[in-house]
Copies of this chain bind each other. A is one copy, B any other.
Amino acid sequence: MHVLDLVKPDGRSLTLYARHPITTPDPHRAPSPFATPLGASPHLRWHPLRGEWVTYAAYRQSRTFLPPPEYNPLLVTTDPAHPTELPSGNWDVAVFDNRFPSLGGVSEPPPELIVPTAPGAGACEVVVFTQDANSSLGALPIPHIDLLLQALADRTERLSARVDVQYVLPFENRGAEVGVTLHHPHGQIYAYPIVPPVPARMQEVAAKYFAEKKSGVLQDLIDRELRDRVRILYAGSHAVAFVPVCARYPYEVWVAPVQPVADFTQLSGAQRSDLARALKTVLLKYDGLWQRSFPYLMAWYQSPCDGQPHPESHLHAQFYPPYRTRERLKFLAGTELAAGFFAMDALPEDKARELQQVEVVIE
């Protein structure tokens, strides 16, 4: 993997990743639609009833929203008088600091309020999957997806090393149905100054299981899913994809290396390559199901980087698609949002069968 680090005129950083040596117009300086730093200062407030932090970044209301295609800031810059976020050149994947971060870039102390507050430390990065605005993650060749996973490993390594980061979450929101503002194929990385509530809960549950059983809770579930076969979408030599028996969304899918690794940096080349194939299989099945672009949230859970040992960790992706049938969205309402208790209209076995029947050809 070839890597090139650049700096934007407003101080933000950009990293280019490629399978080939990288050439770009200016090897030191990256373009930016913005000439000066934002001077952002997100802050955290403590939610005393839920026992968790919430971040506030009021300036984000002015951020780019569904711009017409000619203003796509994720296209490469062709006219230096009208710079986008990205330079031209032969790069494959790019990562840069979000101009409107929910976390990071703190320049002011947090306000004093009636609950504890803290600086909104951490980082928010944008991950551009490809230069092609009309492509998608699933349409990319496996070596390109493999490179993306390598880039995520590089981001994880860099962000984990920061003292103000305890958890690194790469994710993709895809589709207007989940609120996406830019349709160019891209994801995001949130690097949190704390371990956020859901990963914290999952680590707690997994650590308890690991202490009792001396094995991983996801590892054991994968073993049982593979033996049960009913909900499997992909079973390779190193990676697996399935509709989990306990799916909370009708078309929920998990993708994981079969053998647990703590985070992206720990993947072997063989694991990463098979994980790329599992991922592409799922994404082609999704888009093939209704012969249209299938919206989802894809989130990658990995080990916290909070200075504690986490032998219970098992890197994996969870996909949450918003549709429950071709025409109907699953709304999160009273029981899901207020109680955290999910009610499913569909059986995972039925949804798995639908996805199993979508034929996928990967050369």
B206, A169: Cβ atoms closer than 8 Å? no
Which residues of chain B are near A328, meaning CB under 8 Å? 65
Q: How far is A46 from B224 in the complex, measured between Cα atoms in Å? A: 14
Decide yes or no whether A234 CB sits under 8 A from chain B: no
Q: Is the interface of A mostly helix, strand, loop or mixed?
A: mixed
Decide yes or no whether A163 CB sits under 8 A from chain B: no
- Distance in Å from the Cβ of A199 to the closest Cβ of chain B? 6
Question: With A48-B205, A202-B50, A334-B297 as given contacts, are A347 and B56 in contact (CB-CB < 8 Å)?
Answer: yes
Which residues of chain B are near A161, meaning CB under 8 Å? none
B46, A197: Cβ atoms closer than 8 Å? no
B197, A341: Cβ atoms closer than 8 Å? yes
- Distance in Å from the Cβ of A335 to the closest Cβ of chain B? 5
Which residues of chain B are near A48, meaning CB under 8 Å? 205, 209, 217-218, 220-221, 246
A61: contacting residue among B52, B115, B325, CB under 8 A:
B325
Q: How far is A301 from B57 in the complex, measured between Cα atoms in Å? A: 28
The proximity string for A residues 71-97 relative to B, scoring 1 for CB distances below 8 Å and 0 otherwise, is 000000000000000000000000000
A46: nearest chain-B partner, CB-CB: B246
Which residues of chain B are near A324, meaning CB under 8 Å? 61
Copy total for this chain: 2
For A, the interface residue count at a CB cutoff of 8 angstroms equals: 80
Q: How far is A114 from B228 in the complex, measured between Cα atoms in Å? A: 8
The segment from A16-24, A136-144, A188-196, A260-268 found at the interface with B is A188-196
A61, B345: Cβ atoms closer than 8 Å? yes
Which residues of chain B are near A214, meaning CB under 8 Å? none
Q: How far is A347 from B56 in the complex, measured between Cα atoms in Å? A: 7
- Distance in Å from the Cβ of A305 to the closest Cβ of chain B? 14
Q: List 12 A-B contacts (CB under 8 A).
A: A53-B341, A61-B346, A103-B343, A114-B225, A114-B228, A169-B335, A171-B338, A179-B329, A190-B339, A192-B339, A197-B340, A198-B341
